Amino acid sequence: MTAWLVTGGAGYIGAHVVSALLEAGFEAVAYDNLSTGRTEFVPEGAAWVEGDILDAEALTSALSAHGCSGVIHCAGYKYAGESVKYPTHTYLQNVSGTATLLDAMAAARVGGLVFSSSAGVYGTPETEVVTEDTPCRPESPYGESKLVAEWLIRDQVTATASSDAPLAATSLRYFNVVGSGRPDIYDVSPHNLFPKVFATLLRGEPARINGDDYATPDGTCVRDYVHVADLAEAHVEAARALDEGRAVEPVYNLGSGAGTSVREIVDAMRDVTGITTEPLIGPRRAGDPARIVAAGDLAARDLAWQTRFTIEQMVRTAWEALPRE
């Protein structure tokens, strides 16, 4: 099998991707600047390179030294809410970082790229189920930066098409990533849903639900949640397709097509943790649509991808991996 470099390979998502690559028989190189990643997340058997996504020389060196055939690009600034406060930092990491990576890949003559994008590029869609044809109208610097990075990749594919080192690439868009595929890798972000709710429950405070009067079965918002192990598997299957020279779409959505309500998430957390504090019902948040989920039909067709975990399993694996003080 070939070697693939994973940017952000010591992070919550990236380390799961590295682990999935190794399990699938690939060689894996974890590349991370440790701004949020942790070396203890890097699975045994993976090569480790500490380096920044903005360091073209370090990237080129790592790609060449390990004979990589492709890159799975997970590195970036991933916080939509925080990106509003720090737009220049967001664009630097997500847009300039992707441009730097593309230059390094060209210098090292590496021809495969799987970009870990985001359903944040859609903003608030007018349809309840998002497809790859849904218009992109991002509403945060984060979503905008992911979309611009996709454009950069698209343009590089076009620019290199007739060269002796063409780039083949695809981007994977997804909503909320949750759960844990390994007991030693967990979500460390204070901004993500599961860690925030777990921390609230452990403090003895009630979880907060923003509105319970939506036109949904239980009145709370419905969203798409993807287990991180399923997400990692999709990245590996996309890498495999590129390695094998199969035709791929420029973009794939990774979603259940059904979604889960906020009430269902909170109830599952109360059941799994045994902390049965009743949630606090607050007013709706401005701009929150009743239901947004993504259809994963194209990923199922081309990457044989499907969601495998129930919401109870998503919550349980996240809770069991959560470190205890």
What residues are annotated to the active site?
142
Which of 127, 113, 3 is closest to 67 using CA atoms?
Answer: 3
Distance of alpha carbon 298 from alpha carbon 202, whole angstroms: 40
CA distances for 118 relative to 173, 177, 195, 253, 267, angstroms: 4, 10, 19, 9, 27
Q: How many residues does the chain have?
A: 325
3-state helix, strand, coil in the chain (%, to 5): 40, 20, 40
- Three-state secondary structure string covering 144-156: HHHHHHHHHHHHH
Distance of alpha carbon 224 from alpha carbon 220, whole angstroms: 13
CA angle, residues 303, 314, 117, in degrees to nearest 5: 45
Burial of 43 (C-beta count, 10 Å sphere; 0-12/13-18/19+): buried
Residue written as token pair 């957390």: 269
